[in-house]
Structure 1
Amino acid sequence: MDDRCPPAVAPTVVPLAAVLTPPEPALSTALLATAPVALCCLDATQRIRYANRAAERLLGRPATGLLGRPVDAVLPSDVAAAVLTACAEAMSSAGPVAVELPTPGAGARWVELHAWPTPVGPAFAFIDITIRRRAQEAGERARQAAERAGARLALLAAVSAELAGARDVESALGSLARLVVPDLADGCIVTVIDRDGRARDVGSWHADPDRREVVARYAAVRMDTLPETSPVARALRAGTEARESVDSVLGLMPPGPARDLLLALRPESAVVLPLPAGDRPVGVLTLYLDPGRTPDADDLAAAREVADRAGRAVDRVHRASRQAQLAEALQRSLLTEPLSVDGAQLEVRYVPAAEAAQVGGDWYDAFLHPAGDPVLVIGDVAGHDTAAAAEMGQLRGLLRGIAHYSGAGPAEVLRGLDAAMGHMYPGTLATAAIARVERDGTELRWASAGHPPPLVADPDGTVSVLSRGFGDLLLGVDPTTARREFTAPLPLGATVLLYTDGLVERRDRSVDAGVAHLQRQLAELVGLPLDRLCDELLARMLAGVPQDDVALVALRLQPAGRFAGAAG
């Protein structure tokens, strides 16, 4: 057996030049002619020198109708201009240029124009990108729809945050117009029916800063001139939703400032949405749309949701207001008019809280002791509702009865009230202070059960705080607790002030700081007549509507000997 290797066979070497040999001219022509991309070439005079079959199909003409003709004679003017610009740029830069264009033929299609330089002139090609373009546009529409949906959700969240818990509903709705512009409209006016049944525009806004003053002036006058047949009047009367052209609204309006301002506002249409509350409207949301703006179904749905939330907020505040009026009427009915005292002036004040739920158990009282001395009482039953107000009335009458029957001093009256509460009103807590003017008006005898201290102001402006902390334990905790009694001298002309904690307590300061502030204000006002002093003191201390009830009783001594007066 021959183990020798067979002789090696030399490999066949193909010259590289043979592999890269350019195709024959006929093959090149066939490749260009049958390419699926529309190809054209221009000569130096910008006439079409070559066009393949795809170009014929795209342009809708045979080659005989294309060759030798100027570009702008076979293409739409805007497309021809783009082709010539791209070809010129390609020749000058010696590089390719690409741009997207609508199809030059019939049909809603898109092409990508490519231009590049050749030795004989610029060439250009159209590549159909309709599928890609439509996918991009669909994606963009989806993105925009998602953004709009997110904006609508953010708007509804902002509206809810603005209206949730709002007690001053008119201020909250006034800012509502700024929230819906520009997402839902170019301009907006918000109308509310107040508790007296009057429709008033409470807020307006416009996306155009130059028209904000115009819409504000229009909102100030339009309700006085809108006819009963106008969309806003119909929405207020019957809760009817409407979308009207502004021209039709102008046709209903009489000549005057309101009509002139609506013309100056220049909206094309208006959408009027009632603010519903049960089976009745409590206001109107008017959206103004400039020419070219048309709300879609989602916009209208969001606007209706805004109107619904606003209507619920108005209804909630109206209900709370009615409850507050009822509770305040109950509380005032339990407070008597101050008695008339010879030798002294007496003033009482009661200011309800801003919130309906805060109407509660603050009370004042003033009556004559069996010995003829004036007795001042201030108290506060724990709780902030009508139940607290009812308990206040019971305790107030009980304290009066104990004081009249026993003839005891302030501390003993508080002890008797505490003992009675343990049997008759278990679970009720209250603070109270009693001050009795004795010795022909030269001495004040007082006691306190967990209440802020009385103040005594001399005619020269010196104000003393009769402070032993907050006095003894509040009422209703331990009826066996010891009750202390204190005395303080009273100069002629002195002013005695008792008050509840709503006058001095704030979220941002302690009661002690509030009492010190009250002491300073009383020192500045002591020279005023007693009625003006009380009014000014409330104005300075409260600076608006209080967050808690406030009651006070003030007595000013006169040099008139023994006190005498009708029992309160």
Structure 2
Amino acid sequence: MDGPTDRMIAAEGSLADRAATRLRRDPVRVGAAQRLLPTGNRPGLDRLAELAARLMGTAGSQVSLLVDHQLIAAGTGAAAVGSTGPLEESLCTVTAALPAGECLVVTDARDDPRVADLPPVRAGAVGSYLGTALTDGSGQPVGALCVFGPEPRRWAPSEIATLQQLAASVMTELELSALLRQYENERLRWELAKEAGEVGTFDFDPSTGLLLWDEQLQRMFGYDPVTFDRSLDAFNARVHPDDMGWHADALQASVDTLGEYDVEYRIVLPGGQTRWIHARGRHVPGPDGRTDHLIGAAYDTTGEREASTRVTRVLEAMPAGFYSLDREWRFTHVNAQAERLLGLSRDELLGEVLWEAFPATRGSIFEQSYREAVSNGDPVLFDAYYPQPLDGWYELSAWPTPDGLSVYFLEVTERRAAQEQAERSARRLALLAGVSADLAGALDPQTATAHLPELVVPALADFCIVTVVGADGRARDVGSWHADEDMRPVLDRYTQLRLDAMPPDSPALTALRSGVAVRRDGRDVVALLLPGEARDLAARLAPREAVVLPMRGRNRTLGLLTVYYADGTPAREEDLSTAQDVAERVGLALDNARLYGAQQQLAEGLQRSLLTEPPEPDHAEIAVRYLPAAEAARVGGDWYDAFLQPGGTTMLVIGDVVGHDTEAAAAMGQLRGLLRGIATYSDAGPVEVLRGLDTSMTTLQMTTLATAAVARFEQTPDELSRGITRMRWANAGHLPPLVINPDGSVAELAEWNGDLLLGVDPEVKRRESVVTLDRGATVLLYTDGLVERRDSDLDEGIVRLREALIELADLPLEVLLDELLERLVHGRPEDDVALVAVRLHPQDRPRPVEAGPNRVPPTVPPERLPGD
């Protein structure tokens, strides 16, 4: 029977359904999300989505905006950018509905009742998920940033913090894009308003009769730059005969009295067409109080002579500020938007000199750009900051006119702040990515940590010191950097002395003990040091503030990141937050390196414990080597063995279990022990030993596959007197032994591909081969890691081995094996390498010193010498 919880879920729907309903019911939230919907390509969002996936090491990432549906604005992996879908089917909907500041952390999506029934989880695209809400300035959840992969995984606290920091950068990018669209729309509206109004401008000098028209006005009167001679006669030639007299009187009266010029008259174009023109101008008085210039605008009112189309309406309707200056830099026109942006009315501004009304423009980019435009006659476009009382950034476009200068401007303070915030966020994320890349690519994280200050300075601080706690528990300063090149030697010397000069209550030692960040005044840090050179150096460095950040691993502090700020440099909280993130990443990397090193030593010790030292029978010198792969787990399935059988024969074994991990190492230990037991109890030959091992593997239900080659060295009394030895050997899919003859030649034994592998068919019939060796010969058994390469095949590797053996044949056996490893794998093989070799010394003379002492089991009979 269903319980109360099941009935409640059935009644209310799934968690995603309830979240979708709640999000849709908030029109303010929906409007906030719609405002941020991107148009076209947004490379900034794409880069942030890619960075999220790279930092988290996930297969996919996604930036979603949630209106009444989900839109994927950016993403990687399985995220289909630009696609939409129902809110009820999205994990991002669940994320956005969480309380403020909470992340949706899903370790195993298939077992998580919150999301298990959602289509991406059922389809297998999402096995693990980490998401955080995207919220605007008012706290409205407008979307989500998430990373995900097809397999379950755990999420570290540092990964959650990094995703939340990335979410802030995503919101900055979205807000910046929305602002840029708003500004562009406003600019387009102004251009369209001017074009729609078809407004032309003029400048008339009554004393000379010079009349200047822009191209729009010339076209309006049926002229072009060639036919218009810039005279009042050219104007009168177009005025309708019935309007010419009264217009001339109105113009003259306006000039004489500096009165209003606001007229509407008719013109007759060359084709006979009559048009109505509305003109309005403002007089610019000269030094004598008379009209020096009449500046104005005119537009065609034919068919539409309402006041809404007049020039003043166009200017007043502009969403941008606009003002005109005469040649004396006095304000001659100010529109309504300019009044608002400048904080003064047009009555307060008209007739005032720019430099006096706004004193901060003197000597600034404003004055430089304005004078350059007037001097050169070219428009200028620039961004500039004006201090209090405006305290804002402005985008200005200024172009010269016959009367002076016209200026169009927009306030872009909010846009600049968004851009600066985006740039700071990008720098911080680039720093974190650089730190992660350095730590991930370094074989020794402590060495990479020494270079950490060069990444931190000057991005986050003025100078920095990195301290690492060694395996002996002692703290050591391993790296430092100063933004001032001249102070770097001082800081370097200070790091050599400061730890010994610190009292127990110093910030650094306190942070090491407690694992908690410490923030202190720089003068207090200097005063705490014991008198001497360290304190003198600290005084020269003169930090204003010091912040000590522990680099913590798992339940331990592994070092310190200490950042310092000099006078005049503020310690931004966002910089300190980034520095804390850096410290946590480094601490985790150091702890991982420590754990990996311990596991590596344990694994290698276990592997070598399974590979025992060889015996030392009379007149037979045996040498062995094992070298683990350089870029893999240091355990594997390669093995060698050498032992004496009860009858006194020497047996050598080389083998390789399929696989390369701890499971292969365990299987190798089992097979090696079984083979040893069979051979040392039964005194059987190579074929019988392999057959017995195959049977035992089947009986014990071992599923392991392995290759092996077994060689036994036998000698009859007649062979002893003749100075020869027989090698009887069998091969289960392994590489063949190589023989170095006493004359230095190298022989490869036939049938190198051998019989079937062990563990395939216990009934297989195995073959045995015999070869006669002269005393003084050397036999080498080896695994494929010695000869295989990624860039060449196995045959080429065996040829290289033969050539090396020919050159090294005269060397002592131990030296010969070391030289082989150096020549063929340079001490760092791509795969495990196991070697076992025996050199048969002559038996008619004492055992050579280099062969070591004679060491055989008590159950083995002594060797008979020739003549015994």
Distance 1:307 1:407, change over 3 A: same
The residue that corresponds to 2:243 in the other structure is 14
Q: What is the aligned counterpart of 1:496 among 745, 761, 779? A: 779
Task: For 2:753 and 2:450, locate their aligned partners in 1 and report how far apart those are by CA, in whole Å.
Answer: 44
Pairs within 5 Å for 1:505-516: 505-516=788-799
* SS of residue in 2 equivalent to 1:367: strand
Task: For 1:546 and 1:446, locate their aligned partners in 2 and report how far apart those are by CA, in whole Å.
Answer: 27
Task: For 1:96 and 1:394, locate their aligned partners in 2 and report how far apart those are by CA, in whole Å.
Answer: 87
Task: For 1:73 and 1:98, locate their aligned partners in 2 and report how far apart those are by CA, in whole Å.
Answer: 23
1:483 and 2:799 matched:
no
Deviations 1:410-432 (A, max 9, x none): 12211211121111142012222
Contact in 2 for aligned 1:518/1:541 (Cα 8 Å):
yes
Q: What is the letter of the counterpart of residue 272 of structure 1?
A: V
* SS of residue in 1 equivalent to 2:735: coil
Q: What is the letter of the counterpart of residue 435 of structure 1?
A: A
Distance 1:432 1:302, change over 3 A: same
The residue that corresponds to 1:567 in the other structure is 857
Q: What is the letter of the counterpart of residue 735 of structure 2?
A: P
Pairs within 5 Å for 1:297-336: 297-336=573-612
Task: For 1:541 and 1:224, locate their aligned partners in 2 and report how far apart those are by CA, in whole Å.
Answer: 49
The residue that corresponds to 2:293 in the other structure is none
Q: What is the aligned counterpart of 1:531 among 785, 810, 814? A: 814
* SS of residue in 1 equivalent to 2:811: coil
What is the Cα deviation at residue 401 of structure 1? Answer: 1.9
Distance 1:51 1:349, change over 3 A: closer
TM-score (norm. length: structure 1) = 0.75
Q: In the comparison of the two structures, how many residue pairs are matched?
A: 538
The residue that corresponds to 1:7 in the other structure is none
What is the Cα deviation at residue 558 of structure 1? Answer: 1.2
Distance 1:414 1:141, change over 3 A: same
What is the Cα deviation at residue 346 of structure 1? Answer: 2.0
Task: For 2:644 and 2:497, locate their aligned partners in 1 and report how far apart those are by CA, in whole Å.
Answer: 57
1:473 and 2:756 matched:
yes
The residue that corresponds to 2:660 in the other structure is 384
The residue that corresponds to 2:841 in the other structure is 558
Q: What is the letter of the counterpart of residue 581 of structure 2?
A: E
The residue that corresponds to 1:3 in the other structure is none
Pairs within 5 Å for 1:365-444: 365-439=641-715, 440=720, 442-444=725-727
Contact in 2 for aligned 1:358/1:547 (Cα 8 Å):
no
* SS of residue in 2 equivalent to 1:27: coil
Task: For 1:104 and 1:368, locate their aligned partners in 2 and report how far apart those are by CA, in whole Å.
Answer: 94
What is the Cα deviation at residue 510 of structure 1? Answer: 3.6
Distance 1:295 1:470, change over 3 A: farther
The residue that corresponds to 1:274 in the other structure is 550
What is the Cα deviation at residue 513 of structure 1? Answer: 3.5
Distance 1:95 1:176, change over 3 A: closer
RCO comparison, higher one (Cα < 8 Å, 6+): 1
Distance 1:104 1:493, change over 3 A: closer
Task: For 1:501 and 1:97, locate their aligned partners in 2 and report how far apart those are by CA, in whole Å.
Answer: 74
Q: What is the aligned counterpart of 1:25 among 243, 247, 257? A: 257
Distance 1:98 1:124, change over 3 A: farther
* SS of residue in 2 equivalent to 1:315: helix
Q: What is the letter of the counterpart of residue 683 of structure 2?
A: G
Deviations 1:169-216 (A, max 9, x none): 335545655554554345555444444545455566666777778777
What is the Cα deviation at residue 391 of structure 1? Answer: 2.7
What is the Cα deviation at residue 149 of structure 1? Answer: 1.9
Contact in 1 for aligned 2:523/2:543 (Cα 8 Å):
no
1:348 and 2:590 matched:
no
Distance 1:110 1:422, change over 3 A: closer
Task: For 2:608 and 2:740, locate their aligned partners in 1 and report how far apart those are by CA, in whole Å.
Answer: 28
Contact in 2 for aligned 1:459/1:527 (Cα 8 Å):
no
What is the Cα deviation at residue 71 of structure 1? Answer: 11
Task: For 2:434 and 2:442, locate their aligned partners in 1 and report how far apart those are by CA, in whole Å.
Answer: 13
Task: For 1:264 and 1:514, locate their aligned partners in 2 and report how far apart those are by CA, in whole Å.
Answer: 62
Task: For 2:457 and 2:386, locate their aligned partners in 1 and report how far apart those are by CA, in whole Å.
Answer: 39
Task: For 1:338 and 1:200, locate their aligned partners in 2 and report how far apart those are by CA, in whole Å.
Answer: 44
Contact in 2 for aligned 1:436/1:444 (Cα 8 Å):
yes
The residue that corresponds to 1:5 in the other structure is none
The residue that corresponds to 2:150 in the other structure is none
Task: For 2:649 and 2:429, locate their aligned partners in 1 and report how far apart those are by CA, in whole Å.
Answer: 67
Task: For 1:445 and 1:85, locate their aligned partners in 2 and report how far apart those are by CA, in whole Å.
Answer: 98
Contact in 2 for aligned 1:354/1:545 (Cα 8 Å):
yes
1:144 and 2:373 matched:
no
Deviations 1:455-502 (A, max 9, x none): 323455433343634422221112222322233343333322223333
* SS of residue in 2 equivalent to 1:275: strand
Deviations 1:242-287 (A, max 9, x none): 3456655454556888778878878765543222222212233344
What is the Cα deviation at residue 311 of structure 1? Answer: 2.4
Q: What is the aligned counterpart of 2:460 among 175, 181, 184? A: 184
| Structure 2 residues without counterparts, runs of 5 or longer | 1-239, 262-281, 286-315, 317-321, 848-853, 859-868
The residue that corresponds to 2:730 in the other structure is 447
Distance 1:450 1:295, change over 3 A: farther
Distance 1:339 1:71, change over 3 A: closer
What is the Cα deviation at residue 101 of structure 1? Answer: 7.8
